Structure 1
Amino acid sequence: MDGRLNDLSAIPDATPKDIETLLAVLARGARRIERVEMSFGTVWIKRYGTERPIVWSRAQNALAHLFRKPFLRASPRLGRTAMVDREVRRIAAFAAEGLPVPTVLYRSDSALVLSDAGPTVSARLRTLKTADPAGHEDLLVACAAELGALHARKLCHGRPHPRDLFLEGGRIGYMDFEEEPEAAMPLPAAQARDLWLLFLQLVPSALEGETTAGRALSAWQESAPGDALSELCLLVAFLAKFLWLTRLIGRVHMGSDLRRFLAATRYLSQVLLAPRPADASKAGKDD
């Protein structure tokens, strides 16, 4: 690790006043994510170890063990310093592949100071939705295409939500590297889950529905490894078994998460899985 990351005075263009401000904000520890204005621009402070224990991650691992499905596993839970180490390491890995990422300006055992990456893809999509609907759809497709290119580099993000993506020079950039699914499952399974998680957001928000979803899936497939596609088919086949239960629950309360699960999983199952013949149970009876 670059030893300069432990030195606030090594931050490029930082003035003594900037350093004083950062020291005060870091010591205050008010919020997990905090925006700070410096003389040279905006930086973000990200603190670790403030999260409440996540029951869902334990449930994920229990389900993964019960069903013997690695893609259900949660990323390993780590202590504060190890979480900082993980994020710094993953940012460096993406940067080494020439991918746009925030710059790590400073690190301690429990916090990072990161450069501002600019507006997120999520914010850009909100603007395009009314100002340029065609551009909105093209950006969704671009997210899938860039994710496929990422997977071709033997990487995965872990949570490719549009709010964790940004635009830099016409390219999709990545931030928020808290997840590391490839540490809990084979890389192809982690990459398949990446695509499914992106489609949880993409399919419901696409203005042109399945037309855009189809373009996005094709764009991902152009670069994505074949074993990631195979794992995606296995993932979707498993999750599709629960569509009936999801619809049943939805009759009582159709929340946004449930709606996204239904839309994405139903679409992917339709295009990736071979349809079951209606008379499959009768096969061979007339021989």
Structure 2
Amino acid sequence: MDGRLNDLSAIPDATPRDIETLLAVLACGARRIERVEMSFGTVWVKRYGTEKPIVWTHAQNALARLFRKPFLRASPRLDRKAMVDREVRRLEAFAAEGLPVPKVLYRSDSALVLSDAGPTIGMQLGTLKSADPARHDALLVACAADLGSVHALNLCHGRPHPRDLFLENGRVGYMDFEEEPEAAMPLPAAQARDLWLLFLQLVPSALDGETTAGRALSAWMESAPGDALSELCLLVAFLAKFLWLTRLIGRVHMGSDLRRFLAATRYLSQVLLPPRPADASKAGKDD
């Protein structure tokens, strides 16, 4: 790691006033992620260890042990310094492969200062939804295609949500490397979960429905390793067993998370899994 990352004065183009501003924000700021305007542009301060312990993390690992499914495991929980180390290391791994990522301008044992990557793909999708529906769906397909290329490089993002992606000179870029699923499960399983997590956002938001979802899946499969596809089929086969329960709960309250799970898992199960026998649908409550 570059030793200058511990020195605010080493930030390119930073003035003494910029350094004073950053020192004040780092010392007094309370928000986990904070935008700061400098004389040379925008930077982002990201703090670690501010989140309360997540009960779901423990439940997730308990379910993984109960069902013996590695893809259910949560990323290892770390202390603040280790979380900073992990994000810097993963940013460097993506950058080493020529993938666009924010630049680390400064680091401490509990925070990072990162360069601005511009509007996220999530923001751009929001604009394109009404302004240019065709480009909206083409951008979703591009995200899936690029994720397949990332997986072909033996990498995994961990949470490829459109709000954690951006465009740089027409290329998909990646940020927010807080998850490291490959530290808790085999890499192909982590890559399969990457694709499923992307599809949780992609399938419900695709304006051309399953046509766009099919293009996106095909685009990912063009580059993704075969082992990741095999793991994706196993993941979907397991989750599809709970579609009937999802629908049952949805009759009482269909929240956005439940709706995304239902849409993505149902679509992927339809296209990746063999058809069930005719009598299985009657016995299984899934139709």
Band of TM-score, shorter chain: over 0.9
- In 2, the alpha carbon distance for the partners of 1:62 and 1:25 equals 39
> Could you say which residue in structure 2 is the equivalent of 1:94?
94
> Could you say which residue in structure 2 is the equivalent of 1:140?
140
> Could you say which residue in structure 2 is the equivalent of 1:274?
274
DSSP-derived class of the 2:156 partner? coil
Deviations 1:80-105 (A, max 9, x none): 00000000000000000000000000
Alignment of 1:250 with 2:250, yes or no, is yes
Counterparts of 1:6-17 in structure 2, within 5 Å, are 6-17=6-17
DSSP-derived class of the 2:44 partner? strand
> Could you say which residue in structure 2 is the equivalent of 1:60?
60
CA drift of 1:29 comes to 2.5
Counterpart residue identity of residue 8, structure 2: L
> Could you say which residue in structure 1 is the equivalent of 2:125?
125
Counterpart residue identity of residue 133, structure 1: P
Counterparts of 1:181-200 in structure 2, within 5 Å, are 181-200=181-200
Counterpart residue identity of residue 236, structure 1: V
> Could you say which residue in structure 2 is the equivalent of 1:285?
none
> Could you say which residue in structure 2 is the equivalent of 1:2?
2
Counterparts of 1:1-287 in structure 2, within 5 Å, are 1-278=1-278
- In 1, the alpha carbon distance for the partners of 2:85 and 2:190 equals 20
C-alpha distance 279-248 of structure 1, shift in aligned 2 (>3 A)? closer
DSSP-derived class of the 1:146 partner? helix
CA drift of 1:276 comes to 1.4
- In 1, the alpha carbon distance for the partners of 2:49 and 2:277 equals 51
DSSP-derived class of the 2:78 partner? coil
Counterpart residue identity of residue 27, structure 2: A
DSSP-derived class of the 1:65 partner? helix
- In 1, the alpha carbon distance for the partners of 2:165 and 2:243 equals 29
CA drift of 1:278 comes to 1.6
How many pairs does the alignment contain?
Answer: 281
What is the TM-score of this pair, normalised by structure 2?
0.97
What is the TM-score of this pair, normalised by structure 1?
0.97
Which ranges of structure 1 fall in alignment gaps of 5 or more residues? Answer: 281-287
- In 2, the alpha carbon distance for the partners of 1:61 and 1:51 equals 18
CA drift of 1:279 comes to 5.3
- In 2, the alpha carbon distance for the partners of 1:165 and 1:225 equals 21
DSSP-derived class of the 1:34 partner? strand
Counterpart residue identity of residue 175, structure 2: M
Counterpart residue identity of residue 55, structure 2: V
- In 2, the alpha carbon distance for the partners of 1:211 and 1:279 equals 28
- In 2, the alpha carbon distance for the partners of 1:167 and 1:26 equals 28
> Could you say which residue in structure 1 is the equivalent of 2:284?
none
- In 2, the alpha carbon distance for the partners of 1:258 and 1:198 equals 15
Which ranges of structure 2 fall in alignment gaps of 5 or more residues? Answer: 281-287
- In 2, the alpha carbon distance for the partners of 1:41 and 1:211 equals 40
DSSP-derived class of the 1:230 partner? helix
- In 1, the alpha carbon distance for the partners of 2:264 and 2:30 equals 37
Counterpart residue identity of residue 217, structure 2: L
- In 1, the alpha carbon distance for the partners of 2:29 and 2:111 equals 9
- In 2, the alpha carbon distance for the partners of 1:198 and 1:236 equals 14
